[in-house]
Structure 1
Amino acid sequence: MYASARGWLEMRFEQRSAAQEIITRRHHELYSGGWAFPTAPFNWTLYLFYGGDIREQELDWLREAIAELAAMPPIDDDGDRPTGLFLITDERGGTTQWQIRNGSLDARPTPSLTWLGE
């Protein structure tokens, strides 16, 4: 079975190299191609995206990578850490959201989003 995973993390531009190091270290031969950084920085927030259809048994790989990205230490006195949201939908119509905030990933059930697969 497959799951569609899509979402983003918001972080400071200064955290880009640390995020890239995590993604490189957690490389997956098939599914790492789903990561996307903006080609050039603009404004003040870096948005790191992921999107792809992956085998359900590989969701742990993605979840662990996102959890490590979420846990990156703050880089300023404000204590800001990456935040974000990922939606995971499976072939059975199940939907989960991964909320990224306060240094961790929190998985929660989501109302049906089956219309996304139509």
Structure 2
Amino acid sequence: MASYVSIKGWIECSDDDIKIIQENINNFWNNCPFNIEEKESAKIYKSGWIFPTNSFNWSSYIFFGACVKSYFIIYFEKCIKTIMELDIEISGFFELDYYEDSYKVNWKINNGNLIQTTN
């Protein structure tokens, strides 16, 4: 039986960077070397990203929320890191809740670093 992890969080960026982040996420998930079963799951998981359609003031927030198979965490982390490699300024926070193991991991994106803490 597969174990699952609940991931929820956000990336803060400028309005101008939403499109490049969205393209980066789509490219990452479309080009990852998954097997056939994983490709179907990846399509579903990719839909967990929510992008703002209207901008206001000076910051925008891109949200993610989904329960994923635990082995997809490595891909999700790689996706976040590809966003961090873009020449844009972002910050963010994600909480990973491991159901079976009853613990949580927090990822904080700040100044180009992904900082991980465990609860």
Class of the TM-score when normalised by the shorter of the 2 chains: 0.7 to 0.9
Greater percentage in helix: 2
Deviation at 1:43, TM superposition (A): 1.3
TM-score, normalised with respect to structure 1: 0.82
Percent identity at matched positions?
Answer: 27
Matched residue, 1:115: none
1:45 aligns with 2:59: yes
Unmatched tracts of structure 2, length 5 or more: 30-41
CA distance in 2 between partners of 1:36 and 1:108 (Å): 25
CA distance in 1 between partners of 2:49 and 2:84 (Å): 15
Matched residue, 1:94: 103
CA distance in 1 between partners of 2:84 and 2:94 (Å): 12
Aligned residue pairs, count: 104
Matched residue, 2:33: none
CA deviations over 1:58-113 (Å, ceiling 9, x no partner)? 01111111122123213xxxxxx200110001112110000101112122112xxx
Higher relative contact order (Cα pairs below 8 Å, separated by 6+ residues): 2
The answer to whether the 8 A contact 1:99-1:107 is kept is yes
CA distance in 2 between partners of 1:86 and 1:56 (Å): 15
CA distance in 2 between partners of 1:41 and 1:30 (Å): 26
Matched residue, 1:20: 22
Superposition RMSD in Å = 1.1
